[in-house]
Amino acid sequence: MKKTHWLLLGIGGIVLWAGMILCCLIVLQFGSESFSREELIDASKEAYRFDPQTILTRNVSDENIFVQIPFPEEFPEPFPTAIFWQQTEYLQVTDLFMEYILHDTRTTWKVSMISSARWCSDPPSLPRLTITMQKKVLQPEENHRIEALVNVMPQIGIIKLLKQEYAPDEGGERTINWSDIVIPAEQALLIAEQNGGAVVRQALGNQCRITISLTAGIQKNDWWIYYEPLNEPSVFEIAVDEKTGKYRILREFKP
């Protein structure tokens, strides 16, 4: 009996050890996301037309500020206009949009990402701005999380809205507060231009594209600006601190 007892204990230990190894392999194979209870419970995409010439002066009746249109398969290419908005104007329009369409205020949301892009030959402004936001919604039974992407395109007078709602909320993307962004996008672009960007544009004959983005949790929340020749990877990258304006060269330009 004694030998049988120890034999059973040994077999049990081996089975337990094998089970632990199997659990570890499952976690490594499928990741912790496989055990998440969070599900996408709602999603929508909408498009609205607005008049960029009058919206900032409010010289338009309230009910006609934003007019919903069918969501296009492709948005028209922007055309040259005399509209040279900076981040402040984009935030003003976003505030109006959230007030009239979402019946909400931007201050109840946090920032996940802000981005824009322009051709090197464009005037020094932001031809469009995309803001990705996140909001926690407290519910009696389980909390929800809403993610919204608002893309303001004044050159074609259209705002694109993408929304996704998840439940139960298990965190989502990293976010930062609006008040943490002291240096606006256009100032970060100017800092980039003054510290290598202008030289890059001149060397490339303005045949390039400039992209600027601020993503929570990436590059210490700094603005990240990079210069790309047409259909080629970036040749110059610089990070600008969103609070102080201090910069770091991430990729040196090599003519």
pLDDT in tens, 147-194: 999 999 999 999 999 999 998 888 888 999 999 999 999 999 999 999
pLDDT confidence of residue 234: 96
| Domains by residue range for the chain, with CATH | 34-113+123-178 (3.40.1000), 181-255 (3.10.450)
pLDDT confidence of residue 59: 61
Burial 32-67 (b: 16+ CB within 10 A, else e): eeeeeebeeeeeeeebbebbbeebeeeeeeeeebbe
Average the pLDDT over each of 14-28, 188-202, 239-253 and give the range with the smallest value.
14-28
DSSP annotation of 58: T
pLDDT confidence of residue 42: 93
pTM of the model: 0.82
DSSP annotation of 195: I
- Output phi, psi for 67, to 5 deg: -115, 120
pLDDT in tens, 54-93: 898 866 566 689 999 999 888 877 666 678 899 999 999 9
pLDDT in tens, 131-152: 999 998 887 777 899 999 999 9
Q: What is the mean pLDDT of residues 28-54?
A: 78
Contact between 188 and 225 under an 8 Å Cβ cutoff? The reply is yes
